[in-house]
A = this chain, B = another copy of it.
């Protein structure tokens, strides 16, 4: 065994990219085009990185995508945390969440939820690790919504005809529908009426 200078930080040429910025740009690209339709050239162009640097820093395309999914998951969890967990009124948070879903889905450049997009893209692909990440992220969102519904009920903000889990599942279905239909650029009325259905679940006419 040759003795190797253990983890010695050498000097070396300075990077011309920021790792975090690059990851953000990669995420945006995957978000808009999906995994398969994003080529390495797309990623190099978006991140401004050299080919070799991308492979050195992030590994191959799939590994980069995996990191992007983690980043998106963290971002999304943060959003739910702010809206639901940190909100003194969980019901107001849930309302705001539905509003966010609707308004996002109505935006002209809406690209859907990256996690749901990816579930669709990888549904027919054998890749347990990626699918685990995607399903875990989905379960996290489910948990956050169940929790918020439960607290809203406990606080007397909301009366439910079904259990929090059952209602949360309907809300998740709404999110799924809005994410995809918004991405398909369907008529805005369709988006709006689906969101209205979700508001009904939250005791809309009050």
Contact size range, A: 35 or more
- The answer to whether the Cβ of A46 comes within 8 Å of any Cβ in the partner chain is no
- The answer to whether the Cβ of A57 comes within 8 Å of any Cβ in the partner chain is no
Q: Which 6 residue pairs across A and B have the least CB separation, nearest first?
A: A169-B193, A173-B177, A170-B197, A173-B194, A176-B177, A166-B193
Give chain A's interface secondary structure class: helix
A167-202 vs B, Cβ < 8 Å mask (1 yes, 0 no): 001101110111011011110011001101100110
Q: Which residues of B contact A166 (CB under 8 A)?
A: 193, 196-197
Of B36, B111, B174, B185, the residue contacting A177 (CB under 8 A) is B174
Q: Which residues of B contact A50 (CB under 8 A)?
A: none
Binding site for B on A (CB under 8 A): 32-34, 36-37, 111-112, 116-117, 119-121, 123-125, 134-135, 138, 142, 161-162, 165-166, 169-170, 172-174, 176-178, 180-181, 183-186, 189-190, 193-194, 196-197, 200-201
